[in-house]
Amino acid sequence: MEERKILVTRSSMPSYEDYIDAIKPLWDTHWLTNMGVYHQQLEKELKEYLKVQELSLMVNGHMALELAIQAFGFPKDSEVITTPFTFISTTHAIVRNGLKPVFCDIKSSDGTIDETKIEDLITEYTVAIVPVHVYGHVCNVDEIQRIADKYNLKVIYDAAHAFGVEYEGNGIGTYGDASVFSFHATKVFNTIEGGAVTFKEHSIYDKLYNLKNFGIRGEEVVTEVGANAKMNEFCAIMGLCNLKNIDKSIDDRAKSLRLYKDRLSKIEGIRIFEENQNVKSNYAYFPVLITDDYKSSRNDLYNKLRKCGIYSRKYFYPLTSDQACFKNKYRDTSLPCAREMAEQVLCLPLYEGLAENDIDYITSLF
Ligand SMILES: *Cc1c(COP(=O)(O)O)cnc(C)c1O
């Protein structure tokens, strides 16, 4: 049998010629990193595209999240309410800041944090909420803000999946105290590796500039325990090139998603998430839920697809709270919906340029 292999994602790239042309000036200036002109240009263009007031570029999404949390200076061992139904980075960023994750359950409607269960988890030690716009599905930002205001908590969104998403016409990065995006090669928009923090107050820009550059304030002055999280110029140029094509790229994903939905929606036991009418989506992922009414188990389907060269992924199984590094270390909370979704979910291949006959083939295996 012919070997065909379809991975869950494939990086969008500019043409070879466009990228080579764009990086040529670097051989004149020899300025490769440390907030160069392309770094500045990409910050400017991303602020416009994402419709946010302030944005700080970072070396990757994870460091963006770590430094965004660090920027607020929470006391050590404080509690942060978050979701376990996410990529491990979200929980790592909290713990690596010396804070304690408190895992809140999610909603079966869209996989985001269940805002009705947040208040019960708040204690005198709670300082922040770190929700995730998982799959680009928008959290209940209004209710989360109401709770945060009532208890004087910060809200830092993990918006790694939500590049270009808008809610009621607003850039998703305008909600909460800060939002964090990932520009990893596998995400909707990529800079090879990269990320950004978006926020409203300019004072946070200075703070993050400092934190991503070793805490250095002047040639002989270091004021903070910073990291090195600067994006280099090659990555910034990749971002500028990819940004030119982003709308077309998202449209192409939308087209694939419609084909998938058309072919899978009538299959018994396959649940597809509904689109939120107030949201402009980025079609970042195509998660489906393999419920008990389907003819086989999620894992059997995963294995069958894999045998046929289709590399779907169980995003997000296991829950981060169940991983060896976190299990039984933090407050034990009830997570029935998160557990169920982790057992049922399968993300199918979705990327710019996915062929219609590949979608036909994948869906024929269900
Ligand atoms: C990708 C991702 C991150 C980390 O971003 P990197 O750019 O890979 O460091 C964080 N959170 C979520 C939910 C992600 O999917």
Question: pLDDT tens for residues 125-134?
Answer: 999 999 999 9
Per-residue confidence (pLDDT) for residue 270, from 0 to 100: 98
Transcribe 27-38 into DSSP letters: HHH---SSS-HH
Nearest to residue 26, comparing CAs of 331, 172, 234, 207? 234
**For the chain, which residues score pLDDT lower than 50?**
none
CA of 208 to the centre of ligand 1 (A): 18
Per-residue confidence (pLDDT) for residue 2, from 0 to 100: 55
Residues β-bridged to residue 105? none
Residues β-bridged to residue 15? none
Q: How many CB atoms lie within 10 A of CB 360?
A: 11
CA of 267 to the centre of ligand 1 (A): 32
CA of 127 to the centre of ligand 1 (A): 22
List residues near ligand 1 (CB under 6 A).
60-62, 86-87, 89-90, 132, 158, 160-161, 182, 184, 195
How far apart are the C-alpha atoms of 35 and 26, rounded to whole Å?
13
For residues 347-359, one letter each, b for 16 or more C-beta atoms within 10 angstroms of the residue's C-beta and e for the rest, the string is bbbbbbebeeebb
CB within 8 A of 88, min separation 6: which ones? 320, 323
How far apart are the C-alpha atoms of 262 and 256, rounded to whole Å?
10
Per-residue confidence (pLDDT) for residue 128, from 0 to 100: 98
Inter-residue contact 100 to 91 (CB < 8 Å): no
Q: Whose CA is nearest to atom 13 of ligand 1?
A: 87
How far apart are the C-alpha atoms of 98 and 82, rounded to whole Å?
15
CA of 179 to the centre of ligand 1 (A): 12
Per-residue confidence (pLDDT) for residue 202, from 0 to 100: 94
Per-residue confidence (pLDDT) for residue 290, from 0 to 100: 98
CA distances (Å), 168 to each of 104, 118, 162, in order? 26, 23, 14
Q: Is 336 exposed, middle or buried (0-12, 13-18, 19+ CB in 10 A)?
A: exposed
Is residue 157 helix, strand or coil? strand
Residues β-bridged to residue 257? none
CA of 215 to the centre of ligand 1 (A): 24
Place of tokens 């770094």: 39
Inter-residue contact 177 to 72 (CB < 8 Å): yes
Q: Whose CA is nearest to atom 10 of ligand 1?
A: 89
Q: In the chain, what is the straight-line distance between the N-terminal and C-terminal CA atoms, in Å?
A: 20
Quote the strand ranges of the chain, DSSP E: 54-58, 79-82, 100-103, 126-130, 154-158, 166-167, 170-171, 178-182, 195-199, 216-218, 221-222, 270-272, 279-280, 286-290, 345-348
Phi and psi at 189, nearest 5°, equal: -120, 130
Rg (CA), the chain: 21
Ligand 1 atom nearest the C-alpha of 90 is: 11
How far apart are the C-alpha atoms of 150 and 119, rounded to whole Å?
10
How far apart are the C-alpha atoms of 28 and 238, rounded to whole Å?
18
Q: Which two tokens stand for residue 192?
A: 């090879």
Inter-residue contact 106 to 97 (CB < 8 Å): no
> Residues 7, 9, 12, 13: is their CA dihedral positive or negative?
negative
